[in-house]
Amino acid sequence: DTGVSQDPRHKITKRGQNVTFRCDPISEHNRLYWYRQTLGQGPEFLTYFQNEAQLEKSRLLSDRFSAERPKGSFSTLEIQRTEQGDSAMYLCASSPPFRLAGGGDTQYFGPGTRLTVL
């Protein structure tokens, strides 16, 4: 396993621009999560996919945010018309199917994408 990967690792953008982040989960992990972490805080849940279906969205996920997982593999998180308050670390995590040994509730995190909005 190569682990969860995220791209880019860092993104600096100007207010009002759109940004897109990519997450590649661990192979065979059918569940994928996005979280946001601001300085000095724990991660906060944004959204959750099982295969290609987006099953849950947090209230934190405003209309400017959209996430996709078109083929049930990688996922993208897009932020439109970025605001300075969007500056944060965006974390992706994945979990194996319930049927696999060790599957269930453990989530494995990627290194994150640090977004800075100027």
Partner 1 sequence: GNSVTQMEGPVTLSEEAFLTINCTYTATGYPSLFWYVQYPGEGLQLLLKATKADDKGSNKGFEATYRKETTSFHLEKGSVQVSDSAVYFCALIRQAGTALIFGKGTTLSVSS
Q: Does 62 engage in binding with partner 1 (CB under 8 A)?
A: no
91: its two tokens: 């974390």
Q: Does 65 engage in binding with partner 1 (CB under 8 A)?
A: no
Q: Which residues pair with 67 in a beta bridge?
A: 77
Rounded Cα–Cα distance for residues 61 and 58 (Å)? 6
Q: Does 41 engage in binding with partner 1 (CB under 8 A)?
A: yes
Among 91, 94, 115, 117, binds partner 1 (CB under 8 A): 91
Rounded Cα–Cα distance for residues 109 and 61 (Å)? 19
3 state DSSP class of 65: strand
Our CB check for partner 1 shows the closer of 30 and 82 to be 30
Q: Which residues bind partner 1 (CB under 8 A)?
A: 4, 6, 31, 33, 35, 40-45, 48, 50, 55-56, 58, 91, 93, 95, 98, 103-112
